[in-house]
């Protein structure tokens, strides 16, 4: 059964999967038929498991999110190293509940994965209300404010705002 899938979404995903194949396997002509098959299979599976929702990525917002991710990763890594290597600085580990505005599904999973990649925070599940639970190295820092900024940037990149969620 063929669904009404936008050609642009299929082409974009196919190009991404083929590019990933070429990045990993190289550009040898002998491997290209298998790469095309793998990209087509990955595209078909991707479209079946996560059909496009009609929204479009906002590339400028995605660039802002990527820039922030890079900056926060570096600053967070330095901060975690400082905390780990200086015995006089005490860690104030604990859990923080963050109520998200993102809908469940891919957007929420992306947010959880993105914020878990930041040094000092790790998603530890959800509570009964759907809020994300984070384990933090230092709960006294402005973790909630940072998560709010990251969530807003992700919402913008996905084509929405907190008002839409």
pLDDT tens column, 59-80: 888 889 889 888 888 888 888 7
Same domain membership, residue 87 and residue 39: no
Same domain membership, residue 107 and residue 42: no
Same domain membership, residue 142 and residue 83: yes
SS3 11: helix
Same domain membership, residue 136 and residue 84: yes
What is the tens place of the pLDDT at every residue in 7-43?
888 888 899 889 888 888 888 888 889 989 999 999 9
What is the tens place of the pLDDT at every residue in 118-146?
888 889 988 988 899 999 887 877 888 98
| Three-state SS sequence of 77-138 | HHHHHHHHHCCCCCCECEEEEECCCCCCCHHHHHHHHHHHCCCCEEEEEECCCCCEEEEECE
Same domain membership, residue 95 and residue 20: no
SS3 29: coil
Biggest CA-to-CA distance, the chain: 64
Same domain membership, residue 12 and residue 67: no
Position 116 confidence tier, pLDDT thresholds 50, 70, 90: confident
Residue with tokens 């990209």: 39
Report if residue 162 sits inside a domain: no
What pLDDT, on a 0 to 100 scale, did the predictor assign at position 36? 92
Same domain membership, residue 43 and residue 76: no
| Sign of the alpha-carbon dihedral angle for 24, 27, 29, 35 | positive
CB proximity list for 21: less than 8 A, separation 6 or greater: 35, 38, 39
Same domain membership, residue 108 and residue 151: yes
Tally of domains in the chain = 2
Report if residue 99 sits inside a domain: yes
Q: State the residue range of the domain holding 45.
A: 7-49
- Estimate to the nearest angstrom the gap between the alpha carbon of 57 and the chain centroid: 13
Report if residue 165 sits inside a domain: no
Same domain membership, residue 91 and residue 12: no
Same domain membership, residue 64 and residue 44: no
SS3 150: helix
């Amino acid at each position: 059964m063929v669904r009404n899938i936008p050609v642009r979404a299929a082409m974009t995903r196919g190009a991404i999967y083929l590019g990933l194949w070429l990045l990993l396997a190289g550009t040898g002509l002998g491997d290209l038929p298998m790469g095309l098959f793998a990209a087509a299979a990955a595209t078909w599976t991707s479209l079946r498991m996560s059909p496009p929702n009609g929204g479009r990525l906002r590339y400028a917002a995605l660039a802002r999110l990527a820039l922030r991710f890079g900056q926060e990763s570096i600053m967070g890594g330095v901060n975690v190293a400082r905390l780990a290597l200086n015995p006089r600085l005490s860690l104030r580990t604990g859990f923080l509940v963050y109520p998200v505005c993102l809908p469940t599904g891919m957007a929420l999973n992306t947010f959880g994965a993105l914020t878990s990649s930041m040094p000092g925070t790790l998603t530890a599940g959800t509570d009964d209300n759907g809020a994300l639970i984070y384990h933090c190295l230092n709960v006294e820092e402005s973790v909630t404010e940072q998560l709010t900024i990251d969530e807003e940037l992700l919402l913008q990149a996905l084509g929405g705002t907190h008002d839409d969620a």
